[in-house]
Structure 1
Amino acid sequence: MTAASSTTHHVPYYSQWESADLVPEFVTGTRASADDPLWQKSGAGSREEYGFWAARICGMACLRMALDHFGHPVPPSIPLLRDALDAGAYVRTGETTAKGLIYAPFADWVVRRWGLYAEARPELGAGGIAEEVARGRLVMLSVHHSIRTLEPQPPRRGGHLVLAVGAGPEGAVLHNPSGFPGDSQEYHQVAWADLDRFFAGRGVVLGP
């Protein structure tokens, strides 16, 4: 990555859980998602609905950040998720399973509903991330969730979405919907060499 300058956008942060301060408990399993004391803020019809989706809606959290940044009203997470299901961006596959985020229908839905620029990028490198950020865009990146603690050897790449809100010669600046408070939630600086361990080389570019 040889970008000559750094750009970081001031983007509001949204966790995929309503209680962002409790994320360490949710991801370690010491507290169930359905026991989030603020679950009703999500717009879910029940604790069970919220509990099923909270750990799966990193993409919706990234979208909510982008909507806020680009000046659009921000819907609650679960009504937004229901609309994404209708658009084919997620697919409920069973009582305990779901498939998503599915990039192409997600991007089409974002363009259609909000008139934003949205492009699925199945091949995306560090240079591409920096170029898009410099253009005033935000980039959803598929990374392994252990990026929150920069694990030395993640078991694989991809599977979790974070939002690149900045980039420069030294690395990317991420908003992580399942990051840890005071550490890796907002404006988490990750060196390009570190990002490479987690990043699957694909994502979605969002812009005004």
Structure 2
Amino acid sequence: MSVPTTQHPVPYYSQWESRTLVPEFITGRRDAADDPLWQKSGADTPREYAFWAPRMCGVACLRMVLDFWRHSVPPSVPLVRELCEAGAYVRDGDAVKGLIYQPFADYVGARWGLKAESVPDLAASHIHEAIASGRLVLMSVHKTVRTPEIDPPSKGGHLVLAVGASKEGVMLHNPSGLPGVSQEHAPVSWARFDRFYAGRGVIVGE
């Protein structure tokens, strides 16, 4: 049985507060501490925000998920703190391990009442099926998926949210995507997506 084309109207959140400045943040032309909207993150200081912003792709995906299912959407840094307490991030000085999928999935279920499943071996066909059934999928890809026409050096390390899928490809909300190009509803063919995708993720639904 063929799986239909599906696109969910998911609100978009960047991992930086100033989504239009993402090109400057990812190239290092501007420090995240100089984000004029940093206070919206709920961080106590610009430096706290600057530490977490490059690491908050999973948090941005969670905020999209919460908004889509009509939950209140906390600022990003308070969510980071909750996820640290839940064991989904483990910080050791300036090093951070995470997002760790199973503690994250447990947290999403306990805190928000959503069904979250950590899937360490997630085939592309299952992503399509999950989207068609009304769910959303956090997926591990290389961060350069923002420019899918360029081959990445490796797979994984960055989280994006699958918000649509068809026989031809997947549609992404990318927390570090380029404004007007690859932030919202960005299409990537399955053939190109496979070059970036690490084959694992978290499926979330009501």
For the criterion TM > 0.5, the same-fold answer is: yes
CA 1:160–1:3: 2 relative to 1, 3 Å: farther
What is the RMSD of the two structures over their aligned residues, measured on CA atoms?
1.0
Instruction: State the partner residue of 1:175.
Output: 173
CA contact (8 A) 2:90 2:97 kept: yes
Instruction: State the partner residue of 1:45.
Output: 44
Instruction: State the partner residue of 2:191.
Output: 193
| CA positional deviation for 1:161 | 0.2
Matched, 1:156 2:154: yes
SS at match of 2:47: helix
Task: Tell me the alpha carbon deviations over residues 19-75 of structure 1, each in whole angstroms, 9 at most, x when there is no partner.
Answer: 000000000000011111100000000011000000001000000000000110000
| CA positional deviation for 1:201 | 0.2
Q: 4+ runs of 1 displaced by more than 4 Å? A: none
Instruction: State the partner residue of 2:9.
Output: 10
**Pairing partner for 2:96 from 98, 103, 111:** 98
| CA positional deviation for 1:190 | 0.4
Q: Structure 2 CA distance, aligned partners of 1:91 and 1:151?
A: 33
Q: Structure 2 CA distance, aligned partners of 1:60 and 1:161?
A: 9
CA contact (8 A) 1:139 1:205 kept: yes
Tell me how many residue pairs correspond in the alignment: 206
Q: Structure 1 CA distance, aligned partners of 2:45 and 2:67?
A: 26
Instruction: State the partner residue of 1:70.
Output: 69
Task: Tell me the alpha carbon deviations over residues 140-172 of structure 1, each in whole angstroms, 9 at most, x when there is no partner.
Answer: 010000000115321110000000000011100
CA contact (8 A) 2:138 2:201 kept: yes
Q: Structure 1 CA distance, aligned partners of 2:50 and 2:3?
A: 44
Task: Tell me the alpha carbon deviations over residues 76-108 of structure 1, each in whole angstroms, 9 at most, x when there is no partner.
Answer: 0000110000000001122x2211100000000
Q: Structure 1 CA distance, aligned partners of 2:72 and 2:48?
A: 23
Identity between Structure 1 and Structure 2 (%): 63
SS at match of 1:194: helix
Q: TM-score, normalised by structure 1?
A: 0.97
Instruction: State the partner residue of 1:23.
Output: 22
Q: TM-score, normalised by structure 2?
A: 0.98
Residue 178 of structure 2 aligns with an amino acid whose one-letter code is F
Q: Structure 2 CA distance, aligned partners of 1:24 and 1:175?
A: 16
Task: Tell me the alpha carbon deviations over residues 162-202 of structure 1, each in whole angstroms, 9 at most, x when there is no partner.
Answer: 00000011100000000000000000000000100000000
CA contact (8 A) 1:3 1:168 kept: no
Residue 69 of structure 1 aligns with an amino acid whose one-letter code is F
| CA positional deviation for 1:3 | 4.4
SS at match of 2:17: coil
Instruction: State the partner residue of 1:138.
Output: 136
Unaligned runs of 5+ in 2: none
Residue 174 of structure 1 aligns with an amino acid whose one-letter code is L
| CA positional deviation for 1:4 | 3.8
CA 1:99–1:3: 2 relative to 1, 3 Å: farther
SS at match of 1:55: helix
